[in-house]
């Protein structure tokens, strides 16, 4: 997830139960680009014990090849190509989800990256741009170019995050391609992950925004996949998570109000599991200092510490759209994966 899945966030997630592997924020590739240093840190300084895939977004063949070769000098698990980002500012540049309108270009990119990457080469895609007219054609390219892993977000680019997820399309991909398929889109909980796997026949799930809301979700998935009842967390556990996340993402050169505002990006998702009325979100969004923020957390999370933290988001308690700009990608460009 762009502007979310940095080194600090990966470390916090891993503390509560890491996924099987991570994907970085996307490296923007163009003629003047160089791999962003802060994203490289999430690879080079990663101590989570989990493999990390380097995610690329771009359409310039020469510079995609150059960037892939540069990243191969770092301890990555593989290279991942983004064909899923639905943000208009991205797809209007004919990258991310925008490439789904141009299967010929996708064919060229897949061929180039497959030839450039001696190890694992993975792809994340949506089911189409405004419809699914090119879906099967692109799936056949995935086979022809020997892609090792395909993640499918079950919406078109134009559907953004508003529509139901077309899990039948993910299931179709799982039967058509030769490589393992990961299901992505509205994987809200461990129980949902289990149902999605049963419905689609996918090899695993990719989880984005709901790992922001619930960092225990990967542990809970493993428990559900093993036939166990997922652990129930309580609001005092959430208070500890907020504190840990605040400290991990703190930078001494960032003004306090700026860091508080950054925390709101995460807490917009966390709040979906705190209370059905949205009171925590209402109060949290109005804080301007660390003291104010943790005062709200104490009133809502510590004072009600024994109340269970909801496994599923409360209906009608919505994260604001500006908090879905991790490409806007909280399900989107990539966070973490767990396989069944």
For residue 136, the model assigns a pLDDT of 98
**pLDDT tens, position by position, 147-166:** 999 999 999 999 999 899 99
Cα distance from N-terminal residue to C-terminal residue, the chain: 22
Cβ–Cβ < 8 Å for 329, 283: no
Q: Which of 85, 221, 323, 333 is an active site residue?
A: 85
**In the chain, which residues have pLDDT < 70?**
320-340
For residue 259, the model assigns a pLDDT of 97
Instruction: Show Cβ contacts of residue 150 under 8 Å, excluding neighbours closer than 6 positions.
Output: 122, 123, 124, 125, 139, 142, 173, 177, 179, 180, 181, 182
For residue 319, the model assigns a pLDDT of 73
Q: What tokens were used for 183?
A: 């299901």
Distances in whole angstroms, Cα of residue 322 to Cα of each of 265, 303, 319 = 8, 29, 8
**pLDDT tens, position by position, 81-119:** 999 999 999 999 999 999 999 999 999 999 999 999 999
For residue 340, the model assigns a pLDDT of 53
* Catalytic residue list contains 179: no
Please, what sign has the CA dihedral across residues 22, 151, 111, 129? Answer: negative
Number of Cβ within 10 Å of residue 155's Cβ equals: 26
Instruction: Show Cβ contacts of residue 130 under 8 Å, excluding neighbours closer than 6 positions.
Output: 156, 157, 158
Residues in the chain: 340
pTM of the full predicted structure?
A: 0.92
* Rounded distance between C-alpha atoms, residue 315 and residue 330, angstroms: 18
Distances in whole angstroms, Cα of residue 15 to Cα of each of 8, 189, 217, 218, 291 = 11, 18, 12, 11, 25
Cβ–Cβ < 8 Å for 99, 127: no
For residue 329, the model assigns a pLDDT of 43
For residue 34, the model assigns a pLDDT of 97
* Beta-strand relationship, 204-207 and 336-339: antiparallel
For residue 336, the model assigns a pLDDT of 60
For residue 320, the model assigns a pLDDT of 63
The residue among 53, 67, 51 whose CA lies nearest residue 113 is 67
Radius of gyration of the chain (CA): 19
């Amino acid at each position: 997830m762009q502007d979310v899945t940095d080194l600090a966030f990966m470390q916090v997630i891993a503390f509560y139960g890491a996924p099987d592997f991570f994907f970085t924020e996307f490296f923007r590739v163009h003629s003047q680009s160089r791999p962003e240093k802060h994203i490289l840190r999430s690879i080079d300084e990663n101590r989570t014990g989990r493999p990390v895939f380097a995610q690329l977004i771009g359409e310039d063949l020469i510079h995609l090849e150059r960037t892939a070769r540069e990243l191969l000098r770092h301890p990555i698990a593989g290279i991942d190509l983004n064909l899923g980002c639905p943000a208009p500012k991205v797809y209007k540049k004919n990258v991310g989800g925008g490439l789904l309108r141009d299967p010929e270009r996708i064919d060229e990119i897949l061929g180039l990256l497959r030839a450039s990457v001696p190890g694992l080469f993975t792809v994340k895609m949506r089911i189409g741009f405004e419809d699914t007219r090119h879906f099967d054609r692109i799936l056949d390219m995935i086979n022809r170019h020997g892609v090792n892993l395909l993640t499918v977000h079950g919406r078109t680019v134009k559907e953004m995050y508003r529509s139901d997820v077309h899990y039948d399309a993910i299931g179709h991909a799982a039967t058509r391609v030769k490589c393992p398929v990961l299901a992505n889109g509205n994987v809200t909980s461990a129980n949902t992950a289990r149902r999605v796997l049963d419905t689609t026949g996918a090899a695993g799930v990719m989880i984005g925004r709901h790992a922001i809301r619930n960092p225990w979700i990967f542990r809970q998935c493993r428990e559900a996949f093993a036939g166990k009842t997922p652990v129930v967390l309580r609001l005092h556990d959430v208070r500890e998570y907020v504190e840990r996340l605040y400290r991990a993402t703190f930078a001494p050169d960032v003004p306090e109000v700026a860091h508080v505002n950054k925390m709101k990006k995460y807490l917009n998702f966390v709040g979906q599991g705190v209370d059905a009325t949205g009171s925590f979100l209402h109060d949290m969004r109005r804080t301007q200092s660390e003291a104010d923020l943790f005062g709200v957390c104490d009133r809502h999370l510590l004072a009600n510490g024994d109340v269970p933290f909801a496994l599923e988001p409360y209906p009608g308690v919505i994260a604001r759209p500006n908090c879905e700009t991790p490409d806007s990608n909280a399900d989107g460009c990539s966070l973490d994966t767990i396989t069944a």
